[in-house]
């Protein structure tokens, strides 16, 4: 009997269900007798023993459904070794649930924080397989994460629709795209939708350069402009501050503006003199059915994870590298963030087309 636990942790995204389906179908297709236990609400389910015994039909018809049938929650890694409100040792509680169910493997679908916890559990002796989930595409070791392309499609569609109203009224639109620490989603959606200015965390912006680029477009007879800004974008002035002062400055900004898009908008309005509007697609970018690309990607990653389980080859994150599913040790990816290099070819090519990054 092969007994496998499965959980989805952290922020939701498209293709979580499709990935679990890929794992389950691969296990059920084997000659082994298989039991799958789904933990509810991420690591919380593993901590508190909240799970349900899954059946093959539970994984039927979920390929195209967004979100997660198991539910999810955020369990910050920095607090994983702290007792809960009732004094429970979280790590020991998770290990106990795993052993009480006599599991042979635990499959964790998650992003950076969730995968750090997965690596911790692997170091504690659990048989863990990780799968790279996030719309941010910032998981180290894999070329792409599932959920990323679907989010690109949503964000691109949002900016596409802004174009017509921006053109009709001759306005500057600042569209805020998800991404606190990295700008992959903003970069891809911005290029795909023809944004004129793209602001990402990896390239701190000079607001004067942004305003200058907008004025140049006006001089060239361009009646409107689109600014795609990542929610984690930061100005050069703030980026250059010492850590403590930077934290204080960001707190002050949060007290004054709902988000960075509103700060950028206010600066453009004050110094550029153009009419500005802000659009924040927000959690729409996480929602809806996965796109065709993500359905294929997640099915492949899930199947590869199932094959590793059947071979009893644990302690890996299943990655996509150069078009091939590849197991990478969790120890190699835990705690690492895949960021955009400011001098990468994609940035150079975007600049060659006239896109401004505020630097």
Residue 99 falls inside a structural domain: yes
Residue 83 falls inside a structural domain: yes
Query: What is residue 79's three-state secondary structure?
Result: helix
- Greatest Cα pair distance in the chain: 72
Considering the domain architecture, whether residues 190 and 262 belong to the same structural domain is answered as yes
CATH number at residue 278: 3.40.50.460
Considering the domain architecture, whether residues 129 and 234 belong to the same structural domain is answered as no
Residue range of the domain that includes 180: 148-286
Considering the domain architecture, whether residues 159 and 278 belong to the same structural domain is answered as yes
- Predicted pLDDT at 246: 87
Residue 339 falls inside a structural domain: no
Residue 267 falls inside a structural domain: yes
Considering the domain architecture, whether residues 199 and 121 belong to the same structural domain is answered as no
Residue 119 falls inside a structural domain: yes
**How many structural domains does the chain have?**
2
Considering the domain architecture, whether residues 169 and 135 belong to the same structural domain is answered as no
- List, in order, residues 6 or more apart from 297 with CB less than 8 Å away: 15, 144, 146, 149, 320
- Predicted pLDDT at 173: 95
With CA atoms as reference, report the closest residue to 98 among 74, 119, 79, 124.
Answer: 124
* Of the residues 231, 251, 286, the one at which a domain ends: 286
Tokens coding 227: 């600014």
Query: What is residue 356's three-state secondary structure?
Result: strand
Residue 165 falls inside a structural domain: yes
Q: Which residue among 12, 58, 104, 136 is the active-site one?
A: 136
> HSE-up of 71 (CA within 13 Å, CB side)?
11
Residue 345 falls inside a structural domain: no
Specify the pTM. Answer: 0.95
* Of the residues 256, 286, 316, the one at which a domain ends: 286
CATH number at residue 129: 3.40.50.450
Residue 352 falls inside a structural domain: no
Considering the domain architecture, whether residues 10 and 134 belong to the same structural domain is answered as yes
With CA atoms as reference, report the closest residue to 172 among 257, 258, 281, 267.
Answer: 267
Cβ–Cβ < 8 Å for 297, 15: yes
Considering the domain architecture, whether residues 28 and 88 belong to the same structural domain is answered as yes
Considering the domain architecture, whether residues 9 and 28 belong to the same structural domain is answered as yes
Considering the domain architecture, whether residues 45 and 11 belong to the same structural domain is answered as yes
Return d(Cα 160, Cα 162) in angstroms, integer: 5
H-state helical runs in 103-235: 112-123, 148-169, 184-193, 207-219
Considering the domain architecture, whether residues 279 and 325 belong to the same structural domain is answered as no
153 labelled catalytic: no
Considering the domain architecture, whether residues 127 and 22 belong to the same structural domain is answered as yes
Q: What is the mean pLDDT of each run of 10 residues along the chain (359 residues)?
A: 96 96 97 96 96 97 96 90 91 97 98 95 98 97 98 97 86 95 97 97 96 92 94 93 88 90 92 85 94 98 98 98 98 95 97 96
**Full DSSP string of 265-313:** HHHHHHHH---EEEE--GGGGG-SPPPHHHHHHHHHHHHHHHHHHHTT-
Return d(Cα 132, Cα 107) in angstroms, integer: 11
Considering the domain architecture, whether residues 203 and 258 belong to the same structural domain is answered as yes
């Amino acid at each position: 009997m092969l007994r496998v636990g499965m959980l989805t942790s952290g922020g939701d995204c498209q293709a979580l269900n499709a990935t679990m389906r890929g794992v389950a179908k691969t296990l059920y297709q084997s000659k082994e007798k298989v039991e799958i236990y789904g933990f509810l609400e991420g690591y919380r389910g593993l901590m508190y023993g909240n799970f349900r015994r899954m059946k093959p039909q539970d994984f039927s018809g979920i390929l195209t459904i967004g979100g997660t049938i198991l539910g999810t929650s955020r369990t910050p890694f920095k607090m994983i070794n702290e007792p809960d409100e009732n004094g429970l040792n979280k790590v020991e509680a998770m290990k106990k649930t795993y052993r009480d169910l006599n599991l042979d493997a635990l499959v964790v679908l998650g992003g950076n924080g969730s995968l750090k916890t997965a690596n911790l559990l692997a170091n504690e002796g659990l048989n863990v397989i990780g799968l790279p989930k996030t719309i941010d595409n910032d998981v180290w070791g894999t070329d792409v994460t599932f959920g990323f392309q679907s989010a690109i499609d949503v964000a691109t569609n949002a900016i596409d629709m802004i174009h017509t109203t921006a053109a009709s009224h001759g306005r500057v639109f600042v569209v805020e795209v998800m991404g606190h620490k990295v700008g992959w989603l903003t970069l891809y959606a911005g290029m795909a939708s023809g944004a004129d200015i793209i602001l990402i965390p990896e390239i701190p912006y000079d607001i004067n350069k942004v305003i200058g680029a907008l004025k140049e477009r006006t001089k060239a007879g361009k009646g409107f402009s689109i600014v795609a800004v990542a929610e984690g974008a930061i100005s050069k002035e703030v980026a250059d501050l010492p850590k403590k002062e930077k934290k204080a400055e960001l707190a002050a900004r949060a007290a004054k503006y709902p988000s960075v898009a509103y700060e950028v908008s206010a600066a453009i309005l004050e110094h550029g003199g153009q009419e500005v509007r802000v659009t924040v697609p927000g959690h729409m970018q996480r929602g809806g059915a996965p796109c065709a690309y993500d359905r294929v990607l997640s099915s492949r990653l899930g199947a590869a994870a199932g094959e590793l389980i059947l071979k009893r080859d644990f302690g890996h994150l299943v990655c996509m590298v150069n078009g091939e599913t590849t197991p990478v040790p969790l120890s190699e990816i835990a705690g690492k963030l895949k960021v955009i290099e400011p001098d990468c070819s994609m940035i150079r090519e975007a600049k060659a087309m006239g896109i401004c990054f505020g630097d």
